[in-house]
Amino acid sequence: MLTLATIKADPEYVISRLAVKGFDGREVIERILKADTERRSLQASTEADASRLKKLAASIGALMKEGNREEAEKVKAEVARIKEAQKEMQSRLDEAAAEMTNLLLGVPNLPNENVPEGKSEADNVVEKTGGEIPELGPDALPHWDLAKKYNLIDFETGVKVTGAGFPFYVGKGARLQRALIQFFLDEAWKAGYVEVEPPFVVNEASGYGTGQLPDKEGQMYHVTQDNLYLIPTAEVPVTNIYRDEILPGDSLPRKNCAYSPCWRREAGSYGKDVRGLNRLHQFDKVEIVRIEKPENSYAALEEMKDHVQGLLEKLGLPWHILRLCGGDLSFTSAITFDFEVYSAAQGRWLEVSSVSNFETYQANRLKCRYRDEEKKIRLCHTLNGSALALPRIVAALLENNQTPEGIIIPECLRKYTGFDIID
């Protein structure tokens, strides 16, 4: 969440930047400032009472030594009265602090100055393009038909066993999934990311730490009996490794990668754009996460973009990078770059990765800090990216690499799949 210091330093600037995300922040910012004023007033009163209590307590002993019992009893009564008033004051102080925190949790991150203005994905800016779009013949099939033809993915049985958006991967389809996961993990390892295998469910504190909670869009699966959440991305458990931590400055950056299944309700998703693998409720992904000093985080962001680009180049897929506009930016992100690959049989671009810098927004919620060279404690910057999400990668690989003889496997995957072609 935004720091109170950021808001107090220039409320009008904060309101103007929030507007770039399409968020009208004037009322809530004013309420936060009002709650802070009340909290500070109550805090000052509490501290004044504590100081007075200390002096009164000291005077009781002196009065008793002087034999002035009557005056000492009066002071004792005053001490009791102040202590009782302090209980009420502390309760009001806790309420004011809780109100301010709840208000802060409802305010999005400020978009970086390099985020273009715009209201929707139509206003995103294509920053870079690479690869060649294949020319398929008139008999080319979309991936859902290829999956059925070669017995790679069983959507129907997934519907029977669980529901729509939970497919079975079969035979060479399952091997292709594992090959991609291992390839992505190996490439991350080569780039200096330390692999972790995280829990696939998290507690409420972890959801709040990375900004998935409060769940405004109803996208998380909630295990109500245990109050746990199925993760929508490995970003959540991996970033929460550093919750409530003060890291030595010389230990940064921290670079982690993780494979996990991911669960998203995708409420309200329907139509041709979600057919096949285009949008699932459960899917596999390899995530990269970095904890950085603020002065290094934007260089780290460029490294992460280069890493994802390199994966797509090795897979031989046509790709482009989008700089997201304010209106398409997530609640927690300061800046995001989406990678999309071209799906030749569908004739459309499919998102396969988002690489984001959250600056101090998540770190403030997480209390993820580091000690600098002057021994001062500062908030870290957090970053993450998909490297990569599998379903649409599989869709593009199947469609773009189809030939009359079968589906050609990219060279970089063959040592993992154990086969060169799906036929």
Q: Which amino acid is at 290?
A: R
Q: How far is CA 286 from CA 100, 180, 216, 289, 383, in A?
A: 36, 9, 25, 10, 14
Residue with tokens 């000492």: 72
Q: What distances in angstroms separate CA 373 from CA 33, 248, 298, one per listed residue?
A: 33, 9, 20
Check pLDDT > 80 for residue 314: yes
Strand, helix or coil at 137? Answer: coil
- Two tokens, residue 340: 């999309």
- The residue whose two tokens read 């692999």 is 195
Q: Which two tokens stand for residue 414?
A: 């063959």
Q: How far is CA 377 from the centre of its chain?
A: 23
Query: pLDDT tens digit string along 162-215?
Result: 999 999 999 999 999 999 999 999 999 999 999 999 999 999 999 999 999 998
Question: Is residue 222 a contact partner of residue 229, using CB atoms and an 8 Å limit?
Answer: yes
Q: Output the pLDDT for position 138.
A: 87
Nearby residues of 126 by Cβ (< 8 Å), 6 or more positions away: 320, 321, 322
Q: To which residue do tokens 């998703």 refer?
A: 269
- N residues, the chain: 423
What is the rounded end-to-end Cα distance, in angstroms, of the chain?
A: 51
Joined together, the tokens standing for residue 125 give 């800016």
15-29, 57-71, 127-141, 183-197: which has the minimum mean pLDDT? 57-71
What local confidence, expressed as pLDDT, does residue 40 receive? 85
pLDDT above 80 for 81: no
User: Is 341 within 8 Å of 132 (Cβ atoms)?
Assistant: no
pLDDT at residue 268 greater than cutoff 90: no
Average pLDDT, the chain: 93
The predicted structure's pLDDT at residue 50: 76
Question: What would the two tokens of residue 131 be?
Answer: 């690869």
Listed range (41-50, 94-103, 160-169, 175-184) with the worst mean pLDDT: 41-50
Answer yes or no: are the C-beta atoms of 178 and 416 closer than 8 Å: yes
Share of the chain above pLDDT 90, in %: 80
Tokens found for residue 238: 């991996």
Question: DSSP labels for 401-421?
Answer: TEETTEEEPPGGGHHHHS-SE
Q: What was the pLDDT predicted at 269?
A: 55
